[in-house]
Structure 1
């Protein structure tokens, strides 16, 4: 009886909030920070003791760095990151001391890639270990006033007419309490309890392969610094796994690494430090290498995505919605971008400034992206599997047989030239893994209720849509980056907007839109600053870069959402700018009036 009484006395109070976030990894912590910044009451829990204890994800692409730039934490992320252009090789080898099979430029570091990556964004790709990133996201969220509780586990969650009700257990004390919220976000990873209890349908296949990751300290500077790479992919005789004999991922060049390797389900791996060190020494080709094992963990590669990312008042984001291999580095990036898409919508709906229909656009916009990135990541694995095939490596073959095949490949034998062509084709496919600039930056939202389409098709792609980013101001696209000048300072077009707010871009003839924006802003309760960009405008297009990208005339306008996707545009100034702008913004907010938004765009 005494223990029960003590338990009741220590039980935490029930929570009432607007948004209940389940999970506090990259996804949940991004939500926590953004929601707090937007002034939305939110409560975040995670069953783990704290932020990620190991590096895990690491590639942070330019679009995600732009989000961090908008959040005001880009500088902090840069402090703990290594620019990927400094690790700009993809190296395929039998081991660090063995034969180098192939090398290719990636992450924008190649001479043929520099201009594409630099022109696409004001931010650079970074190698940011996840355990550092999560600490930054947590600190930012707490600075903004977010409440985040670790060691608290979701037991159950259900929807009611008024909202969602979650039951939570404190894993330290065993005490339970209830969380009531208007909306809930499942950000609880690949084994999402939220997704399970919401009975979410997934497509794809779980448990494709079993993986083992070891976090190691080992100084291999002499074998890596002359060919700096984020990932060294090793292929050895007798091994035809999808990831070869292992991948060595840079955490801190050149003495801290993650070694990823595949194992058969029938062969439970030895997780002792001695076994991990022995495998690493063999895979890296350095028998006497001094190695310290920091951590080792097992995990599975999945190929799954949710068919719906919204289920009433419950939303799925990050790995809870899309589960895929880390190939191409899309995991944590998509997590951050999911949050960036949804938070401003939740903020407006909770504040009563937008209708619930706005929230439906989260599924309309992000679910296709989830499907796309899962399929791309899995295809990247298949693409790498072609490398050991081209080398003639087979599961179970002897070391002698494997190296004989490799020797023949680089000889003048009758079949070698054809084999080398097949190898080059396999290596060229790795560009789709490491140089997927178009996939990372080129998200175009089709069929969204939060976009006012102008009756024109998206511009046709002129180059490979995975490898090359082609900016456009078509509604549904992301606002193009261009360098402009404001008060003698060089800034990006992405830098002019206030965090969490809409913005209206106009040109030299856009003055009537200033009055229109004031009226519409007052009517709808939405802040709508106007930014005049053009030759000798306050935001001076000194280089003419914006002129080349804007796709509207001097009297046109572009309405930009808080997530920087384009909501509406008009090529010329409509006869009634106020009515056109009002109608467009009403549609975006879900306050559909039955009138078509005015669009004056013509090709």
Structure 2
């Protein structure tokens, strides 16, 4: 990376100007573009491949991700593109698919979390989810260019200049952006060019992914979805996995190999792959047609920083983890969700540039937490020999996904803040940094989840007309998108039992300020006014009382 100085006009020899340039059209990149569009900031997304992923991997959208996709207006599209989880989807540990089960990770039905979220899980694969996110990003104003590679970039105090190459025509162009989002994956070059190191357990396994077709209707008892973690000494590396795909009759088996033994991957022949597939299935004479195979692997790495100047890392560029638990793709989507509103606030002049410092402060601890949990899951499901007492203790899923807290970052902490990274969402505290608790309100005689009132701007939840007037005054004075929701007031939703107050930890005269990413930014348990609200909002946005700069 080259860094230059001298102001916006020091070198104006670029071909186009965009607010945000995103490199990489995977789940992280397409999500970032989509959520930026939701906040009225157009972006340019470039991807070196000719289209979105054609790999049936990163399947599943957890509840917190579906909440974010609901805000973006695509949750039902994504749900319809995936397997119906209500039909059952056990995850099994076994010697082989047709052999005795050693352990069942998930039951036939998902737990009922309707008391902590209005959303249900989705089960679309990356292959099907990415085009939906990309289409929605276009609908919201993003431009996507495939077969386009980032050649070089340089940043200065005022922006980022990138050199792009059209791989179809070999034409080169220069793009100037206020900010660059690195969504180019773990093997992408942006993080390395920035000189950002990594920490973690490193490479855990070299493996081979074999895509094949076979008649497994009887073996799978007619199930559309199945995931088996295989612990079998006959498999390469002693373990592997089997999973169904979106194409009926097509499946994937993975197994380990030693890249330093013999010819490495060159020794992994078609005949060897066929034998490994039959071992994984437990059917020695199974008729198998190989479709594809490729080297892959497992790693546990987290970037030492998620931001450097005007460049911000999301998805696998920021963290890579074993797939056990399915949160790699979810974390990538949520990186874009939590970063986009901050970029939009700075680009639109609502916030100070220092707001973007909170990307690292908020997302790196979460990336480390999730990666650690996935490593623990890997030990439990596929690699018990790696257990040495240094792995993280398991954290309940509801805490990880709907109870995660940002104890430091773009929030106003309270005097008794204890720095906890998660809490039980069934017993919410309503503290700043926590997920806005799910409660049902009533509007026009119909139930309304509080989630449907959030997501596009700052929202002040209150029952006090005084706080509602304060919100209008602060929004006008600061020029910040801020809207008051007057619960149990004229024109507002009703909560006759006061459930929202208990969940958010405020009294009848109090208020809770919720960020666009539905995390609580600040609260006042009792009465207050425009001065207190304005000071809190300026603290969150890292800006002065009159302007953002």
Task: State the TM-score, normalized to the length of structure 1.
Answer: 0.81
The structure-2 alpha-carbon separation of the partners of 1:292 and 1:129, relative to structure 1 and needing over 3 Å to count, comes to farther
1:250 match: 244
SS of 1:555's equivalent?
Answer: coil
1:336 match: 333
Match status 1:264 vs 2:258: yes
In structure 1, distance between residues paired with 2:186 and 2:250: 26
8 Å Cα contact 2:15/2:173 also seen in 1: yes
In structure 1, distance between residues paired with 2:133 and 2:446: 29
Is the deviation greater in 537-546 or in 196-205? 537-546
1:3-62 CA-to-partner distances (Å, cap 9, x unmatched) read: xxxxxxxxx982211111111111111112222332223211111111001112102111
1:71 match: 72
SS of 1:118's equivalent?
Answer: coil
1:22 match: 23
2:190 match: 194
2:460 match: 504
CA drift of 1:500 comes to 2.2
The structure-2 alpha-carbon separation of the partners of 1:437 and 1:523, relative to structure 1 and needing over 3 Å to count, comes to same
The structure-2 alpha-carbon separation of the partners of 1:589 and 1:460, relative to structure 1 and needing over 3 Å to count, comes to closer
Match status 1:320 vs 2:317: yes
Larger Rg: 1
In the alignment, structure 2 segments of 5+ residues that lack a partner are: 1-12
CA RMSD of aligned residues (A): 3.0
Higher helix share: 1
The structure-2 alpha-carbon separation of the partners of 1:226 and 1:103, relative to structure 1 and needing over 3 Å to count, comes to farther
8 Å Cα contact 1:87/1:230 also seen in 2: no
The structure-2 alpha-carbon separation of the partners of 1:205 and 1:24, relative to structure 1 and needing over 3 Å to count, comes to same
8 Å Cα contact 2:403/2:434 also seen in 1: yes
1:416 match: none
8 Å Cα contact 2:206/2:295 also seen in 1: yes
In structure 1, distance between residues paired with 2:290 and 2:229: 20
The structure-2 alpha-carbon separation of the partners of 1:185 and 1:102, relative to structure 1 and needing over 3 Å to count, comes to same
In structure 2, distance between residues paired with 1:502 and 1:388: 48
In the alignment, structure 1 segments of 5+ residues that lack a partner are: 1-11, 391-428, 595-603
8 Å Cα contact 2:376/2:392 also seen in 1: no
In structure 2, distance between residues paired with 1:545 and 1:76: 31
In structure 2, distance between residues paired with 1:533 and 1:179: 47
Aligned pairs, number:
528
The structure-2 alpha-carbon separation of the partners of 1:511 and 1:158, relative to structure 1 and needing over 3 Å to count, comes to same
8 Å Cα contact 2:440/2:449 also seen in 1: yes
2:416 match: 456
Residues 72-471 of structure 1 mapped to structure 2, 5 A cutoff: 72-106=73-107, 109=109, 113-114=111-112, 117-225=113-221, 230-238=226-234, 241=237, 244-252=238-246, 255-265=249-259, 266=261, 267-268=264-265, 275-385=272-382, 387=384, 432=394, 436-448=397-409, 450-457=410-417, 470-471=427-428
Residues 490-501 of structure 1 mapped to structure 2, 5 A cutoff: 490-497=447-454, 499-501=455-457
1:421-475 CA-to-partner distances (Å, cap 9, x unmatched) read: xxxxxxxx99959x62221222211221x211121235989xxx69976533100
Match status 1:58 vs 2:54: no
CA drift of 1:543 comes to 6.7
8 Å Cα contact 1:477/1:565 also seen in 2: yes
In structure 2, distance between residues paired with 1:93 and 1:466: 33
In structure 2, distance between residues paired with 1:270 and 1:447: 50
The structure-2 alpha-carbon separation of the partners of 1:459 and 1:184, relative to structure 1 and needing over 3 Å to count, comes to closer
Is the deviation greater in 270-279 or in 160-169? 270-279
SS of 2:265's equivalent?
Answer: coil
Match status 1:514 vs 2:468: yes
Match status 1:473 vs 2:419: no
In structure 1, distance between residues paired with 2:301 and 2:424: 23
Q: Choose which of 510, 529, 533 in structure 1 pairs with 2:483.
A: 529
1:421 match: none
In structure 2, distance between residues paired with 1:573 and 1:145: 41
In structure 2, distance between residues paired with 1:46 and 1:226: 38
8 Å Cα contact 2:116/2:425 also seen in 1: no
The structure-2 alpha-carbon separation of the partners of 1:466 and 1:560, relative to structure 1 and needing over 3 Å to count, comes to closer
Is the deviation greater in 319-328 or in 227-236? 227-236
SS of 2:532's equivalent?
Answer: helix
CA drift of 1:491 comes to 2.1
